[in-house]
Chains A and B, each alone.
Chain A
């Protein structure tokens, strides 16, 4: 088991190198001269050249890349903001906490409600409850979160004055952003739980359990649920990814000072180190979350445990790859 975790951590390295390479590639093709951007239009050509030397922009690309990654690994240096001159990391860290609170909280709550709804929907297959749940979850899964957010603001804030339209200075401010992320998480989890549950309930071992005289309730909770949870748990990583992506726009809509808004602001202000540094930090976090999800799988599915402990399978099991 320990060996597997170690292997998974080692597996992070190529991914992070790849992600940083993509980000770095974007950085180098970015239009405009960073030195000029930092110094402003008044600076002389010499000053700009000096700054370029200082920033290492005159070095070969590969050297620049090694320095960039080296800076991240040794000093946590993702570059400085063009706008404030502050290191990106110091600017992002406190915002990360805000985003994490909202995103993780909403996804977790959404997952619990979604799984419950999915089970109900699967058990009441082909009844009106199932149809209603299905259509509503389809709606919230297909409609962009920021549009839902806008409509919610129009109704709850502008019309009814129940909640503040923007800002998270009071606890009420958290409700709408979390609701938007939560609704789409509920929708996603409902649908995946339902289809997974239906598939599992058709399996032969469910028939075996019935043949034993087991009650439907126990069959659902003891036999079906644990098997059905495997694809559901697998989707956690990608769901958090989606929530972070959707959160970028949502934070802008609601004026939440999170990472998403930081990146969006950086984009509109042409603060490229902010954009790319932010994206890289998010990518690192997501990769870590995915790793944790993969590892926690092994605890749910004994089939994976044996393949991993025995080390029989050189390649990762197919199911893991899909995660």
Chain B
């Protein structure tokens, strides 16, 4: 269980247009062990989806660029692979579930065809076999297999997300990236989908990156948790570390903004200010403008490095680098 399936190192991704350069992902590194679930948390625009697309090799062409870093899957650097080799990885080794199931399925193809497509692409089998597999997958995600010849518009949002999951798991990938898989769904359906995903993940021992901005979901599902802010990984650790002992001021602020049943508060705490504009990052620490523990050094010094607080709990904040403040 200790073997790393995915290892992202010093990844930097920029979006370049004629008008501006957006520094979407700034130098992030993390590892994912086999069979584990990593929660990727952060506000909208923090670079979570960009990271996922970067791993998939699906950054928007012409605009999205990986500037530096490496993404290793099973020890192979995905960034060095040719488009042709990447196509063999996508769908087979890594799959992705997208945010909005309403638009993620091709409206003019039957759902059976769409599941069978990925099977046909990656496995040697006949069309008929692929169709049988598609029906099995439908049954697995809790849809009557006979509906394989129905079209996407005949399903509800929750059902569509089940189909998207069926497509993602059809080739038993080693890594599943779920990009806010429940955000677009009703609350009641969210729990069902998450339960199903966890069950399937355990059964197949799939590693998973779960992107969300719902800390509750992370607490329930994940082993490790990474908090992103303005394209940086500000805190990383086990779910226990992050939840019981948050260290970065941003993580602390995020917790304060969660409604609690235990405490009786009139108003929820709000993280002050707006998400930092990633096309115009401040010097030094990106969070410094909104930080309530900001010191004199935070803007002057170069962006803070990562500090290991022991047993793999990483924090990116000057607070934990006393030698810098003394200088």
Contacts and interface: CB of A to CB of B under 8 A. Distances in A.
Question: Are A and B interaction partners?
Answer: yes
Interface of A: 126, 203-205, 207-215, 223, 226-227, 300-303, 306
Contacts of A204: 98, 100, 103-104
Contacts of A203: 103
Interface in B96-112: 96, 98, 100, 103-109
Contact of A208 (B92, B104, B153): B104
Contact of B87 (A215, A223, A302, A306): A215
B106 A205 contact: yes
Contacts of A302: 107-108, 151, 153
B98 A208 contact: yes
B90 A212 contact: yes
Given A214-B117, A302-B151, A209 B106 contact: yes
Contact of B121 (A126, A212, A227, A306): A212
Given A205-B103, A205-B107, A211 B153 contact: no
B285 interface: no
B151 A303 contact: yes
A211 B100 CA distance: 14
A211 B106 contact: no
Contacts of B92: 213
A302 B167 CA distance: 21
B84 to A, nearest CB: 8
B90 A208 contact: no
B164 interface: yes
Interface of B: 56, 58, 62, 86-92, 95-96, 98, 100, 103-109, 117-118, 121-122, 151, 153-154, 164, 167-168
A208 B107 contact: no
Given A207-B98, A306-B154, 10 more contacts: A126-B62, A205-B105, A207-B58, A209-B106, A212-B118, A212-B167, A214-B91, A223-B106, A226-B108, A301-B107
A100 to B, nearest CB: 31
Contacts of A227: 106-108
21 contacts: A205-B103, A207-B58, A209-B117, A210-B58, A212-B118, A212-B167, A213-B86, A213-B87, A213-B90, A213-B118, A213-B122, A214-B91, A214-B121, A226-B108, A301-B107, A301-B108, A302-B108, A302-B151, A302-B153, A303-B151, A306-B151
Contacts of B98: 204, 207-208, 211
Given A207-B58, A213-B89, A213-B118, A303 B106 contact: no
A303 B102 CA distance: 14
A223 B96 CA distance: 18
B151 to A, nearest CB: 4
Contacts of B109: 223
Contacts of B89: 213
Nearest to A204: B103
A214 B164 CA distance: 15
Contacts of B87: 213-215
